[in-house]
Chains A and B, each alone.
Chain A
């Protein structure tokens, strides 16, 4: 069955430190992969996406992610975290099923940034 796992529920990093958020997926075909960010009280904003091609993708706000097929992973990274990066981050994979509109979301990783 298709699934997305974000093993870290909550991460705290210091401002200026590097960040890596983990995402592992189970999917029967070549997936489309996404990272979204959600600030408190807001909807989800797309950070980056992977469809095909270069396995290292660049996104907005200085984020990048690397697709590793052998590890079924799509980890999100940022070299230097800013206080404004504190938010919840969701990994998603899709489409799946008979219809092409379905995405599976992970349960999210809540990022706290210490000054």
Chain B
């Protein structure tokens, strides 16, 4: 039972590079989200999806793109990495809106 799988676990980028953080879930959940976690700020929602083909912005969407071509996958793209995007990124999924979220183990991203 894999749950929510995030890859890679760690990544170091240079400013201006692009990268895709992968997220996959095997629970057939319709709802998926990306959060970033920064010290003293809790988790902040970047983008979310309520089903394949449907995405929307969260609190801090600037600098990130998402797509949802399948139910299972919800990749997060950084088109031109900036040091301010150094953070820990969590992907989460849930079966419906009023159910708890299942989180992946996170991707620790450093932008130099």
Residues of chain B contacted by A92 (CB below 8 angstroms): 43
Q: Which residue of B lies closest to A91 (CB)?
A: B42
The A contact surface, by secondary structure, is strand
Q: Which of B31, B49, B98, B106 contacts A32 (CB 8 A)?
A: B98
A44 touches B90 (CB 8 A): yes
* A interface residues with partner B (beta carbon < 8 Å): 4, 9, 32, 34, 36, 41-46, 49, 51, 90, 92, 95, 99-103, 105-108
B58 touches A (CB below 8 Å)? yes
B33 CB–A CB distance under 8 Å: yes
Instruction: Name the interface size band of chain B.
Output: 20 to 34
CB neighbours of A32 from chain B (8 A) = 98
Contacts of B50 in A (CB 8 A): 99-101
8 Å CB contact of B45 from A44, A90, A103, A106: A103
Residues of chain A lying within 8 A (CB to CB) of residue B35: 105
Q: How far apart are B25's CB and chain A's nearest CB, in angstroms? A: 12
Q: Are A101 and B105 in contact, CB atoms less than 8 angstroms apart? A: no
Residue of A nearest to B40 (CB): A107
> Which residues of the partner chain B approach A103 to less than 8 Å between Cβ atoms?
45, 101
How many whole Å from A9's CB to the nearest CB in chain B?
A: 8
Whether B100 is near chain A, meaning CB under 8 Å from some CB there, is yes
Contact: A51 with B98, CB < 8 Å? Answer: yes
Complex Cα–Cα for A43 and B42 (A): 13
